[in-house]
Amino acid sequence: MKKIFLLAIALLSINISSQACDKGCTMGGSYMGILPQFHKNFVGLRYTTRSYTTTATHGHHVQVTNEHFATAELWGRFVPVKNVQVFAFVPYMLNEQTGGHHAIKSRGFGDVTLMANYSLLNTGDRMDRDLKHTLQVGGGVKLATGAYRNQEHGEQLAPNMQPGTGTTDYLANGMYTIRYKQLGLSNDVTYRFNTENSNGYRFGNRLSASSNLFYWQNVKSISLLPSAGVYYEHAEGDRIEGAPNLQKGGDSFFTNLGLSVYVKNIAVGGTVQLPVSSTEAHHHTEGNRRSMVNLTYMF
């Protein structure tokens, strides 16, 4: 029965960079997910997708706009000393917007993010304990490395369609994992403090939190890590020259289904994130299903 359950999870899953926000997301790569083997360095590639459908009514005319955001990202973890982990994220953005008689495409490297976490508690890799805990706290900085003044047909693209934000932003992060034998619960929360760019645009601060139940299963030389959980994000409204942008801001809830497979030093995995509900200020934006696939090498 257990093998049937694991097989079902594997077929259903293809764990995400959860970045739910309205009419275009600019959280950037900072999602950690479930990260076992805390003492190891790794480098990897991951590809995430997210999309939104916005409906606006102008008199008797209804306009529907679809936005699709994909990110191909190089990321890694380095453990310079015991209990310290340093992360780096280098994203390449592929943004697209369609609606009415127009289509906009934007490509380019996004903003690089650097983070560091310190383990206040870490028994996660102890083989002599059934009950294991890991508590990490830290923070980081998102650098203004991506383009944010790209134009199309002589007009500057909307801020959410740009590869970068043009700002240096700051992140605070906490992660707690508890595991009894093969069953565990992973929790994380991230808050991002955004600043204003030289165009006078400031993305609202973002709060994101997730909780995922996972099961560690060894099958011969392969380790399986299926997971399921929930994700929440709150986005404050954006501001233009200090004035509120009423088209931005809201709350979103998602469910997560994921699976990671470990073979020696190689890990492959994926996640699908399904929308549960969302609320937005002054507009109607529907967040669609999101997904992520990743390949990681540990050393």
Beta-ladder partners of 46: 73, 294
Tally the domains of the chain: 1
Whether 130 and 114 have beta carbons less than 8 Å apart is answered as no
Whether 43 and 296 have beta carbons less than 8 Å apart is answered as yes
153 by Cβ neighbours in 10 Å (0-12 / 13-18 / 19+) ranks as: exposed
- Is residue 7 classed as helix, strand or coil in its secondary structure? helix
Q: What is the CATH number of the domain that holds 32?
A: 2.40.128.130
Q: Greater confidence, 141 or 219?
A: 141
How confident is the model over 132-145, as a mean pLDDT? 94
Digit-coded pLDDT (tens) for 209-247: 999 999 999 988 899 999 999 999 899 989 998 888 766
- Residue 124, pLDDT score: 65
- Segment of 26-40, 145-159, 181-195, 274-288 carrying the highest mean pLDDT: 181-195
Enclosing domain of residue 10 = 1-298
pLDDT of 188 above 70: yes
- Residue 15, pLDDT score: 36
Q: Would you place residue 285 in the very low, low, confident or very high pLDDT band (cuts 50, 70, 90)?
A: confident
**CA–CA separation, 16 vs 32, rounded Å?**
9
Q: Greater confidence, 206 or 2?
A: 206
What is the value of pTM for the model shown? 0.83
Digit-coded pLDDT (tens) for 58-105: 777 788 888 999 999 999 999 999 899 999 999 999 999 988 677 889
